[in-house]
Chain A
Amino acid sequence: MTMLMDWFVVPLSYPFMQRALIVSLLVAAVCAVLSCYLVLKGWSLMGDAISHAVLPGIVVAYVIGLPLALGAFAAGLSCALLTGYLTENSRVKEDTVMGIVFSGMFGLGLVLFTKIESDQHLLHILFGNVLGVTPADLVETAIIAGGTLLIVLLKRRDLLLYCFDPNHARAIGLPVRVLHYGLLVLLSLTIVSALQVVGIILVIAMLIAPGATAYLLTDRFDRMLMIATATALFSAGFGTILSFHLDAATGACIVLVQAAIFVLAFLFAPKGGLVSLRRPISPPLEELS
């Protein structure tokens, strides 16, 4: 028992591990809440696109001396807007345009990166560097993640209605365009806040897995939010500590713990889980009536 306790407590005696844990938990919470909306709206791959597209923004912001988060945010948002513009004005399908825009921006970011002298480590941007979070980074992440979380939770009903049935939302007088762009802005902010923890490639996992897992377990949106947040927090905490013991990439550990939880839900969900499907104890109600 003490050994088990030590396993969890010993890593936390290091200040860098404490900061890593706090920042992972924060980012996990905000990503989890957003993921519920993305899964419902079918925007999972939008997160993928925006997260790749932030790279040139980071490089440019570094060169001209702006905060990196600002550059990342601007680039992420312009990817989303550019995708919309190109789709509306050409006969190419949206998913294709999205692929072209985000890969083009990522490629441009790489070219810019090879041309500048920088103390930024490319692999840290790509895969996160949660163990190297400074107290200043922590404050920045806390402000961005906290602010995003607050806005989403305040507007959760409107956003839900917009994701679920945009036409109905418009009919009852909700500002649909504002909600659409608002959600894009919130998504970009979330990705920016997650850069430190999991990097731009794995943030997409944090923006899908918790919502997808919760979706398998419940039909009610409030519960979905809670389950998603709980699984994400657990994965972030457990993954961070696991990575300390394995001496492995933190972002990868967090994502793999989340994936393991998804697999468990997939197999054993009370309704519709694979294992419970195979052994029907009693026929479903619809068939009885």
Chain B
Amino acid sequence: MLAELLVPFSYDYMVKAMWVSALVGGVCAFLSAYLMLKGWSLMGDALAHAIVPGVAGAYIIGAPFAAGAFFAGILAALGMAFVKQHTRLREDAVIGLVFTTFFAAGLLMASLWPTSVSIQTIVLGNILAISDEDATQVVIIAAISLAVLFLIWKDLLATFFDENHAKSIGLNTSVLKIVFFILLSACTVAALQTVGACLVIAMVVTPGATAYLLTDRFDRLIVIAVAFGAVTSFVGAYISYFLDGGTGGVIVTLQTLLFLAAFYFAPKHGVLAARRRALAPAKAAI
């Protein structure tokens, strides 16, 4: 029984998949703490879809996928900003319009050059069969992002929650914001390889939201979110060995279940705690 459970660890590709997933899950979770509090959750989703044509194009011409993804991501972000500025359309419509158009372009490219691009891999991820070359890119991206986040997490916090205060203590808030968006695009690219374009949103939203239900302090929130993201990704990749695939689906299902658990059982902000509080005055009166 125990030997069976340890089987995944005896395969190099599984060990690689689990550690890469954990690293990506951790970095995305770090960003999720900011995205969730700032109300930018769907930005992660939009970026993940928008980089698909870049990844497809990079595979077609044989360039590193990260470069293509980055290029498409920047183009989409500029497109959104430009359309937003020049029309009276609501922001959500503009985001939806731009990312679906980019995604459709990626799909068109994949259907025209089906041999060099696997749209299934891009949309659903395939960490179990990731090439060494792609894995290296993912690890480099995630490691650099994590290092940068460790250095500037407090500055980012100040920038997002009280920009005037941040400016008054001498932070360059516009540079910090740009850095944040570059980090977000980089992590989206890394997550795309792990869980696929459709599920990136979970990686950059769910850990932060779960941690938010468990604590009121931002430093603890980051620690909880990162641990949550890394552990669920590691375990999800491990479980997917027994299911023969669907790594992204397993990771995200796991994260959602834990979020629901926190939603009910969180000591202070859970539904049960709220119910207890609602009953307490009645009991006290008796």
**Nearest chain B CB to A58 CB, angstrom units:** 14
A103-B205, A110-B124, A111-B249 known; A201-B198 Cβ under 8 A: yes
- Indicate if the CB atoms of B101 and A92 lie closer than 8 Å: no
A111 touching B93 by the CB < 8 A rule?
no
Give A114 to B87 CA distance when docked, in angstroms.
Answer: 43
In the complex the two chains form, is B271's CB within 8 Å of A89's CB? Answer: yes
Question: Are A89 and B274 touching (Cβ within 8 A)?
Answer: yes
Residues of A107-140 whose CB lies within 8 A of B: 107-111, 113-115, 122-123, 126-127
CB distance from A87 to the nearest CB of B (A): 11
Interface residues in A24-59 by Cβ distance below 8 A to B read 38-39, 42-45, 47-48, 52
Which residue in chain A gives the minimum CB-CB distance to B212? A92
Which residues in B have their C-beta under 8 angstroms from that of A237?
A: none
Q: Which of B36, B95, B108, B209 is A256 in contact with, Cβ under 8 Å? A: B108
Which of A5-13, A152-160, A180-188, A202-210 makes up part of the contact surface? A202-210
Q: Count chain B CB atoms within 10 A of each CB in A44, A96, A113 and give the residue with the most.
A: A96
Does B107 make an interface contact (CB < 8 A)?
Answer: yes
B112 near A248 with CB under 8 A, answer yes
The A-B contact count (CB < 8 A) is 197
Could you tell me if B107 and A90 are in contact, using CB atoms closer than 8 angstroms?
no
8 Å CB contacts to A: which residues of B167-203?
198-199, 201-202
Q: Which of A91, A93, A103, A259 contacts B97 (CB 8 A)?
A: A259
- CB contact between B90 and one of A39, A90, A109, A255 (< 8 Å): that residue: A39
Query: Which of A102, A123, A212 is within 8 Å of B93, CB to CB?
Result: A212
* Chain B contacts for A108, CB-based, 8 A: 249, 253, 256
Question: Which of B157-165, B217-225, B238-246 is the interface stretch?
Answer: B238-246
Interchain nearest-CB distance for B69 vs A (Å):
18
* A162 at the binding interface (Cβ < 8 Å): no
Give the residues from 10 to 35 in chain B that come closer than 8 angstroms, CB to CB, to chain A.
Answer: none
Q: Does B250 contact A208, Cβ atoms closer than 8 Å?
A: no
B111 interface residue per 8 A CB criterion: yes
- Complex interface: chain A residues within 8 A of B107 (CB): 127, 202, 249, 251-252
- A39, A126, A208: the one within 8 Å of B100 (CB): A208
Which one, B87, B111, B209, B255, contacts A252 given CB within 8 A? B111
Q: In the complex, are the beta carbons of A106 and B199 less than 8 A apart? A: yes
Would you list which residues of chain A between 63 and 96 have a CB under 8 Å from chain B? 86, 89-93, 95-96
> Which of B39-47, B59-67, B137-145, B148-156 lines the interface with chain A?
B39-47
Instruction: Say yes or no: is A97 at the interface (Cβ < 8 Å to chain B).
Output: yes
The answer to whether A208 and B205 have CB atoms under 8 Å apart is no
- Chain A residues within 8 Å of B111, by CB: 247-249, 252
B104 and A100 form a contact (CB under 8 A): no
Nearest Cβ distance between residue A270 and chain B, in whole angstroms? Answer: 14
B146: A residues at CB distance < 8 A: none
Given A90-B263, A212-B93, A266:B86 Cβ within 8 A: yes
Complex CA–CA separation, A101 to B112 (angstroms) = 33
A92, A109, A204 — most chain B CB neighbours (10 Å): A92
Which residues of B from 81 to 134 have beta carbons under 8 Å from A?
A: 83, 86-90, 92-97, 100-101, 103-105, 107-108, 110-112, 119-120, 123-124
One of A42, A92, A97, A256 near B92 (C-beta < 8 A): A42
Residues of A with C-beta under 8 A to B255? 104
The residue of chain B having its C-beta at the shortest distance from the C-beta of A52 within the complex is B198
Of the A-B pairs whose beta carbons lie under 8 Å apart in the complex, a sample of 17, sorted by A's number, is: A42-B90, A42-B93, A43-B92, A48-B42, A90-B269, A90-B271, A91-B213, A96-B205, A106-B198, A107-B252, A111-B253, A113-B246, A202-B100, A209-B101, A212-B94, A247-B111, A249-B111
Contacts A92-B209, A113-B249 known; list 20 others, CB within 8 Å. Answer: A38-B93, A42-B92, A44-B95, A89-B271, A98-B42, A100-B202, A104-B253, A107-B252, A123-B120, A126-B123, A201-B123, A205-B101, A205-B103, A212-B97, A216-B89, A251-B104, A255-B100, A256-B101, A262-B97, A266-B87
Which 6 residue pairs across A and B have the least CB separation, nearest first?
A104-B256, A110-B249, A107-B252, A205-B100, A103-B202, A255-B104
